[in-house]
């Protein structure tokens, strides 16, 4: 019979080395916040497929919607023959994405593609080519998004220079010595040293950095960014690929920032485990690209659109936005209690259920080694965790919002046991 080890050996031989492996485990099946490996071992899932499973593995309503779609048709290519689930999903997103203006939506397949297209749309709408992105940003692994992603190793190392015209501003992060003022000054510095604002099409920001370490931008900073964009005719792009679909306690994190982006990217949890992503924004901006300039063969797959529509119903029926805030309080409460007795946990933070803690050595250096050991020890005790952060010293939690309190506490008990042992 198959073992994790035998599958890891086959994987090693058959799969390109650049595709890394966080946990040496092969999954057999999954249900809500639980996964079982091929050896029958059970784990609590605090990773959620990297922010894809806010409604859990195989939510029954999502499964039903996909099954119904499966029995009708699975593919036409929307540009060839249209179908209602694509249209209905765009209508729903036009309502849900923050911004008190007429909106239109484009569907694609992955978060990276959504970011690529947001840049294309901003370029077409402004007639400019420059982009400002932030330190620690993660926007994807395609060529343009690699320019925007603020981490060379491992994402673009060995691949040569990525497309030009991307300028790096500092993401505000007081914990590591970057104030809101410093971050704004870094943009002014770009305008002075690198590119005049009239050449910048977009400023792209994650309202809460995901891969970069779960740092929350302050509403005050977002408002200053908005003002800067308005002053210079720059498109503000909110990358809500990781923060969206209810993770932060509102359906989109920008709802808590007091200003709206011109363009919003979404993906991941929007379709509860099926691949759909997209860009939603000001109707006239979205329409800057002529027919034929946007789309893709699988873009807005009917199965994924049906899943996404079901996800939105589940959010309403199960009151998952309120649940997201409660999950956040439970996790943050447990982590803060741990941090009170353990100086290695230097910070506990988050927005809604997007929760993390950051680990430091006794002399205050980021402790990536301890972080890695906690993640491995937790796995051995039956909990799937993820780390993140520019220094690899952040433990992040992306548990399904549909997990029970018992599961949340069982997972936190494992984390507590790991800190006690290591």
Which of 363-372's residues contact partners 24+ apart within 8 Å by CB, and which partners? 366/391, 366/392, 366/393, 367/393, 368/392, 368/393, 370/344, 370/422, 371/395
Tell me the closest approach of the beta carbon of residue 33 to ligand PMP, in angstroms.
20
Tokens of 117: 């297209």
Cβ closest to ligand PMP, residue 18 vs residue 333: 18
Cβ closest to ligand PMP, residue 56 vs residue 111: 111
Tell me the closest approach of the beta carbon of residue 136 to ligand PMP, in angstroms.
11
Calculate the CA 388 to chain-centre distance: 12
User: 109: alpha, beta or left, given left = phi > 0 and alpha = psi -120 to 50?
Assistant: alpha
Site string for ligand PMP, 57-96 (x = CB under 6 A): ----------------------------------------
The reply to whether 178 sits near ligand PMP by the rule CB under 6 A is no
Binder among 207, 210, 300, 366 for ligand PMP (CB under 6 A): 210
The reply to whether 236 sits near ligand PMP by the rule CB under 6 A is no
Sheet bearing 166-169, strands edge to edge: 103-108, 277-282, 263-266, 235-239, 200-205, 130-134, 166-169
The reply to whether 211 sits near ligand PMP by the rule CB under 6 A is yes
Site size for ligand PMP (CB under 6 A) = 15
Binder among 190, 241, 254, 354 for ligand PMP (CB under 6 A): 241
Cβ closest to ligand PMP, residue 356 vs residue 377: 356
Cβ closest to ligand PMP, residue 110 vs residue 197: 110
Bridge partners of 383, per DSSP, are 44
The reply to whether 50 sits near ligand PMP by the rule CB under 6 A is yes
Residue spans of alpha helices (H) in 52-83: 60-70
Question: Cβ(282)–Cβ(103) under 8 Å?
Answer: yes
Tell me the closest approach of the beta carbon of residue 401 to ligand PMP, in angstroms.
17
Side-chain half-sphere exposure of 219, counting CA atoms within 13 A: 9
Site string for ligand PMP, 332-371 (x = CB under 6 A): ----------------------------------------
Pairing of strands 386-388, 166-169: unpaired
Cβ closest to ligand PMP, residue 140 vs residue 172: 140
Tell me the closest approach of the beta carbon of residue 207 to ligand PMP, in angstroms.
10
Task: Give the C-alpha separation, 264 to 102, whole Å.
Answer: 13
Alpha-carbon radius of gyration of the chain? 21
Binding to ligand PMP in span 104-143, by CB under 6 A: 110-112, 115, 138-140
Tell me the closest approach of the beta carbon of residue 113 to ligand PMP, in angstroms.
7
Residues 6+ apart with CB under 8 A from 35: 27, 29, 42, 43, 45, 57, 384
Task: Give the C-alpha separation, 133 to 148, whole Å.
Answer: 6
Binder among 169, 184, 234, 267 for ligand PMP (CB under 6 A): 267
Cβ closest to ligand PMP, residue 162 vs residue 416: 162
- Binding stretches for ligand PMP (CB under 6 A): 50, 110-112, 115, 138-140, 206, 210-211, 239, 241-242, 267
């Amino acid at each position: 019979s198959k073992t994790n080890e035998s599958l890891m050996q086959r994987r090693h031989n058959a799969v390109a080395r650049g595709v890394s492996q966080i946990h040496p485990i092969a999954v057999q099946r999954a249900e809500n916040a639980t996964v079982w490996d091929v050896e029958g071992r059970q784990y609590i899932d605090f990773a959620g497929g990297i922010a894809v499973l806010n409604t859990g593995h195989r939510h029954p309503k999502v499964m039903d919607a996909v099954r119904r779609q499966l029995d009708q048709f699975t593919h036409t290519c929307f540009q060839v023959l249209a179908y209602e689930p694509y249209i209905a999903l765009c209508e729903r997103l036009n309502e849900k994405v923050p911004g008190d203006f007429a909106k239109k939506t484009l569907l694609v397949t992955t978060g990276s593609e959504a970011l690529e297209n947001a840049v294309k749309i901003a370029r077409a709408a402004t007639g400019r080519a420059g982009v400002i992105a932030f330190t620690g940003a993660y926007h994807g692994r395609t060529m343009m998004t690699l320019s925007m992603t603020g981490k060379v190793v491992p994402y673009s190392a060995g691949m040569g220079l990525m497309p030009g015209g991307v300028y790096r501003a500092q993401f505000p992060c007081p914990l590591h010595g970057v104030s809101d003022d410093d971050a704004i000054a870094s943009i002014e510095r770009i305008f002075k040293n690198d590119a005049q604002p009239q050449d910048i099409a977009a400023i792209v920001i994650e309202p809460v950095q995901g891969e970069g370490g779960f740092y929350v931008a302050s509403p005050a900073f977002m408002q200053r960014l908005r003002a800067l964009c308005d002053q210079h005719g720059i498109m503000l792009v909110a990358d809500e690929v990781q923060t969206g679909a209810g993770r932060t306690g509102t359906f989109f994190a920008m709802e808590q920032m007091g200003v709206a982006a011109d363009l919003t990217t979404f993906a991941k949890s929007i379709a509860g485990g099926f691949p759909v992503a997209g860009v939603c924004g000001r109707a006239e901006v979205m329409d800057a690209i002529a027919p034929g300039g946007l789309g893709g063969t699988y873009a807005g797959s009917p199965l994924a659109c049906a899943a996404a529509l079901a996800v939105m119903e589940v959010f309403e029926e199960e009151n998952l936005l309120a649940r997201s805030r409660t999950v956040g309080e439970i996790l943050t409460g447990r982590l803060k209690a741990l941090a009170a007795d353990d100086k290695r946990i230097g910070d506990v933070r988050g927005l809604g259920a997007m929760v993390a803690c950051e680990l430091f050595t006794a002399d205050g250096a980021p402790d990536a080694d301890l972080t890695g050991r906690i993640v491995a020890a937790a796995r051995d005790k039956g909990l799937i965790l993820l780390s993140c952060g520019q220094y690899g010293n952040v433990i992040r939690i992306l548990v399904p919002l549909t997990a029970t309190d018992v599961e949340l506490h069982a997972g936190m008990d494992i984390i507590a046991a790991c800190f006690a042992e290591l």
